[in-house]
């Protein structure tokens, strides 16, 4: 079961084509919508966002928004698992802001995940008390002009103690490319 979180201003339909391209019929993909909220970076304009973003240096963290979205996704996970006789493996995946929230949920949730996929994202906060041991793959564009690769890499230094953490970069911008999709597919198959 893969919970896939979209990026800022997008919606649950953005990654439907990629899910189809992955061609993993044995996996259930759940693509929720973020709530609509004002985003400071965009002059307070309302749009779908998992939390507020104040600037592209990502130094100011909207912990209230992150926590609200964490609780919302945890509730969705529990609801989705409630009717399952055999408990499936649980993966979090996300793009950009959805990637940051996926990493945040993994750190601050009591749910044991089987893998995290962070595409063009960053780690918004580090929980010093929790050792994250599930497999994590982070993929970033070398030419990303929304979330600078160095900001992402610096945030991921906090995960260096996790032997199951992988970082990959590609000559791309703030996007998803076919090579990346193949890497995601292999990651899911290897950890299922």
Among the options 69, 96, 102, 155, which is catalytic?
96
Q: For residue 104, what are its two tokens?
A: 């945040």
- Residues 78-81: contacts with CB under 8 Å, at least 24 apart: 80/1, 80/3, 80/28, 80/30, 81/1
Q: Which residues pair with 30 in a beta bridge?
A: 3
Among the options 52, 62, 120, 144, which is catalytic?
144
Report H helices in the chain.
Answer: 16-22, 63-82, 97-108, 149-156, 178-190
The residue count of the chain comes to 192
Residue 96 bears catalytic tag: yes
Residue 174 bears catalytic tag: yes
Residue 144 bears catalytic tag: yes
* Catalytic residue annotation: 96, 144, 174
């Amino acid at each position: 079961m893969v919970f896939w979180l979209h990026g800022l201003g997008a919606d649950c339909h953005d990654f439907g084509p990629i899910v189809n391209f992955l061609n993993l019929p044995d996996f259930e993909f759940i693509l929720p919508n973020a709530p609509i909220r004002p985003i400071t970076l965009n002059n307070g304009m309302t749009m779908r966002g998992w939390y507020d973003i104040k600037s592209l240096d990502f130094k100011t963290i909207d912990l209230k928004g992150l926590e609200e979205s964490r609780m919302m996704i945890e509730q969705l996970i529990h609801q989705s698992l409630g009717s399952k006789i055999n408990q499936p493996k649980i993966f979090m995946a996300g793009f950009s802001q959805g990637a940051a929230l996926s990493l945040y949920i993994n750190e601050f949730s009591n749910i044991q995940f089987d893998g995290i996929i962070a595409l063009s994202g960053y780690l918004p906060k580090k929980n010093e008390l929790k050792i994250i041991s599930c497999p994590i793959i982070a993929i970033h564009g070398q030419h990303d002009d929304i979330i600078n690769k160095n900001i992402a890499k610096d945030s991921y230094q906090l995960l260096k103690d996790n032997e199951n953490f992988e970082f990959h970069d590609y000559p791309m911008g703030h996007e998803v490319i076919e090579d990346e999709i193949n890497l995601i597919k292999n990651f899911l198959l290897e950890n299922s």
